[in-house]
Structure 1
Amino acid sequence: MSLSAAPGGPNASHTPEQIRRNRLIFLAVLVVLAGLVAFVSLGPYDKKDQSATLKAGDCFQNVGTAKNAKAEKLDCTDPHADYKVLKREKDAVVDTFACSGVPGTTGSLTQVAKDSFVVCFKKNDQKGDK
């Protein structure tokens, strides 16, 4: 009668190829996990759009795009505060009508939804230096 260890038990011997493959699998899993952690902690965050909270006198930065603007309200002396709100017209949907009588207007932000509004703005001349 011979005595041998059970397959896969503590005394099982592995070939060098199996050991390399297991190390590569472990390394790949580790790299994927590190990438996920980096993405969650440093990844892009969709900043909340604060357009609906803007009122005359507020300053903001567009953190979205020209077609899909998203306002981040900032202090007017902040170096990133690019625009200053001149007027906010509630229940308006056509920016040319809402902003036509507002002196100094250089642009507008329009939201057409349940709570529609138009924000008339100009470049912020109180913007601080970087």
Structure 2
Amino acid sequence: MSQTPLGGLNVSYTSVQIRRNRLIFLGLVLVLAGLVVFWALGPYDTKDQSATLKAGDCFQNIGTEKEATTKKLDCTDPHADYKVLKMDKDGVVDTFSCSDVPGTTGSLTQSGPGRWFVICFKENDEKGKK
């Protein structure tokens, strides 16, 4: 014969409590799923225009040297510090992508979910000219 020790489990829930617990659990699952979707799909920094740059475009780095954030500008703009010489959408390592590009003085490598590319650039000679 088994006996429940004093203070043991004697659980009996009403149907209202069961329904409430299920709703709480469902709510937690939905919040968790929402967080996962938010993390996976965005928001990405929409100010960074690196992925839209192509050869011949000019840009300004509005970020830092370690965390570059580009802003695409007209090449005659006084803030357009750099000119893109090559955009390698399949590039992963800047030394491989930019080694054969004459005039390259710098490179920008971006990586992320489905976003790997290398930009080879030089200082913009047209800066401030109209």
TM-score with structure 1 setting the length: 0.62
Aligned length: 84
Q: Could you tell me which residue of structure 2 aligns to residue 14 of structure 1?
A: none
In structure 1, C-alpha distance between the alignment counterparts of 2:55 and 2:90, rounded to whole Å: 16
Residues 91, 115 of structure 1: 8 Å contact kept? no
SS of residue matched to 1:86:
strand
Runs of 5+ unmatched residues, structure 1? 1-45
CA shift, 1:47, in A, is 7.0
SS of residue matched to 1:72:
strand
Q: Could you tell me which residue of structure 1 aligns to residue 67 of structure 2?
A: 68
Q: Could you tell me which residue of structure 2 aligns to residue 34 of structure 1?
A: none
> For 1:49-104, what per-residue CA distance to the aligned partner results, in whole angstroms no more than 9, with x for missing partners?
00010000000000000000000000000000000000000121100000000000
SS of residue matched to 1:120:
strand
Instruction: Please tell me whether Structure 1 or Structure 2 has the larger radius of gyration of its CA atoms.
Output: 1
CA RMSD of aligned residues (A): 1.4
In structure 2, C-alpha distance between the alignment counterparts of 1:118 and 1:96, rounded to whole Å: 10
Q: Could you tell me which residue of structure 2 aligns to residue 93 of structure 1?
A: 92
Identity %: 75
Runs of 5+ unmatched residues, structure 2? 1-44
TM superposition outliers: structure 1 runs of 4+ over 6 Å: none
